[in-house]
Amino acid sequence: MLKIGLIIPSDYMVPVWFQLLVNRIIDENIGRIIEVRTIPKSKTHHIDKNFFYNLDNFLFENSVKKGKRINFLKKNKLNLGRVPLFDGDNKSENTADLFLSLEKMQIIRDDNSNFGLWEYYIDDCNISDIYFGLRSVANESSISVKVMSRFESGNMLIVDARVKNARSFIITKNIIAEKLIELTIQALKRVMISGLDNYTKNEIYPTCLHKTNKLYCKIFINAILKTLNKKNMAETEWFLLLGKKGKSFPVNEAGLQYIYQDSSVFFADPFLFQHGDQTYLFVEEFHFSNSKGVIAVLKKNHDGEYIRIGTALERPYHLSYPFIFRYANEIYMIPETSQANTVDLYKCIDFPMKWENTKTILSNVKACDTTLLFHDNIWWMFTSIERNGWGYDEQLYLYYSDDPINGKWAEHPLNPIVMDTRYARMAGNIIIKEGKLIRPAQDCSKVYGDAINYMEIQTLTKEDYNEKIVFDTTPEKKYLGIHTYNEMDTEFIIDVRRYKK
């Protein structure tokens, strides 16, 4: 259990998210609060004369009053009744392992903490700055969130994530505030397990200065443009390209083969599968007529073309991402069934067209793009879950089991193992390349399915998880995105988005 100090304004007024964070630290036995230090409040900036700010704030406050949102930025006096201060007599017991700070401040000269002074930076602004996030809301689709650990000898970057941007500055700030709770909890868990071994020195970011009127005007205009663009994106479709694996892993773009699809549907989420001496392709087949996906199957003919042979699986709700695998001489599939609030396991009764639901792996959960990996005699399950204010594109969960069919799935202690819209959502099977585990991940930091980042899994145990990015795939400018990569033998297949013809 960590010993934690808090650094807050002298009036003890803290935002709701910070109080909730302190509560979770205590309730989940992550740490004990042993010290509260106060410093003078930051200077208040007045931006309430800005027309767009007032309109933005009115809409936000109205949604709070109607119960559609919680105001995580609202300030209340820190409830010390929820903060049992440590009362040990031994001086070493009273030394905090780290300090959580709501203010930008000088290094604590008498600080002997193991893990430093943690400060929050949003869009390169300290969280004490009222303008945090303003530049990115105006100019980008996602926002940089950092937690910096400061020492007299230097600084370390503890959290470096990107989260989705809303069309409103105040709503985006509120969303970030909520997500800071989970980001901090996960960072504290990692520090408890592995200390600062996986972190490197980094420079602190300066306090940001903004021309608020110009940026607010741009946010207002962008909100209109994004609404119009959303309608335009409805006129897009995914399609499949097949290629031969080259030396430049993972994609050699020369000579890609288009997989035919009817104009009334599009194909996405392709998975190649070998059965006997035949090669099959399982895909999401999305029907424009009812905006619903089914799992279709294509078969490779003697000319090397993949021809649709039928619908393998259909339900009253949307299906996609047909992850397919073998176990104990049987064939199974885990399609995406988030609309049913389950992760379901299907067994093949008559390949490839007949499947039956044999088990619900996870229930009462909105999960997508579930992918299994057998490694070190353990089955690992990666899935993105919509939870705690985080969307599918922003966090990745990990479970493990000795038996993927009959065994129980245990949740990894570091869940969610990834909290970053650039790297969270799965983009296909985990690839074993030269003894390394490569996890394709969707980059949704600009738009959904914009590109694929390939993550090398460096640590995968029941106690710990670490990965790093090794390369990425960005589609040609004529395409709008790419979000699945799979391969088998000498072939690879990707799905790419374009404007519907």
Per-residue pLDDT of 158-188, as tens digits, reads 888 999 887 788 888 899 999 999 999 999 9
Higher pLDDT, 66 or 352: 352
Q: Write out pLDDT tens, residues 375-388.
A: 999 999 999 999 98
Distance CA 52, CA 125 (A): 21
Q: Which two tokens stand for residue 121?
A: 């930076």
221 and 358 fall within a common domain: no
Regarding whether 245 and 226 lie in a shared domain, the answer is: no
Grade residue 233 by pLDDT with cuts at 50, 70 and 90: low
Q: What is the CATH number of the domain that holds 218?
A: 3.40.50
The pair of three-digit structure tokens given for residue 241, joined into one six-digit string: 């390209």
Which pLDDT tens digit goes with each residue over 107-161? 554 456 788 889 998 887 888 877 777 777 777 788 889 888 877 667 788 888 9
Half-sphere exposure of 470 (CA within 13 A, CB side): 16
Q: What is the mean pLDDT of residues 349-367?
A: 97
Together in a domain, 308 and 446: yes
Per-residue pLDDT band at 255 (split at 50, 70, 90): confident
Q: Is the pLDDT of residue 464 over 50?
A: yes
Residue that terminates a domain, selected from 195, 230, 265: 230
Instruction: Tell me the average pLDDT across 401-415.
Output: 97
User: What pLDDT is recorded for position 205?
Assistant: 54
| CA 395 – CA 407 distance, rounded (Å) | 25
Over residues 67-75, mean pLDDT: 88
Q: Residue 258 corresponds to which tokens in the numbers above?
A: 């288009």
- Confidence tier at 52 by pLDDT (50, 70, 90): confident
Q: Examine the domain organization and report whether 263 and 115 are in the same domain.
A: no
How many domains would you assign to the chain? 2
Same domain, 30 and 131: yes
Name the domain boundary from 230, 261, 284.
230
Residue 194, pLDDT score: 82
Task: Identify the band that residue 217 occupies on the pLDDT scale cut at 50, 70 and 90.
Answer: confident
181 and 225 together in one domain: yes
Distances (CA, A) of 482 to 57, 175, 183, 472, 474: 36, 27, 27, 11, 7
Residues 226 and 252 grouped into a single domain: no
Q: Is residue 251 located within the same domain as residue 211?
A: no
- Domain region containing 110: 2-230
Secondary structure E strands in 107-216: 117-122, 125-126, 142-151, 154-164
| 85-102 pLDDT, tens digit each | 554 444 445 688 999 998
Does the predicted model carry a pTM greater than 0.75?
yes
pLDDT in tens, 479-496: 889 999 999 998 999 999
Q: What is the mean pLDDT of the chain?
A: 87
Highest mean pLDDT, choosing among 26-35, 53-62, 201-210, 291-300: 291-300
Q: Let me know whether 221 and 243 are in one domain.
A: no
Residue 408 has what DSSP assignment? P
241-245: long-range contacts (C-beta < 8 A, 24 or more apart)? 241/493, 241/494, 241/495, 241/496, 242/306, 242/491, 242/492, 242/493, 243/491, 243/492, 243/493, 243/494, 244/490, 244/491, 244/492, 245/487, 245/490, 245/491, 245/492
Do both 364 and 491 map to the same domain?
yes
**CATH number of the domain to which 248 belongs:** 2.115.10.20
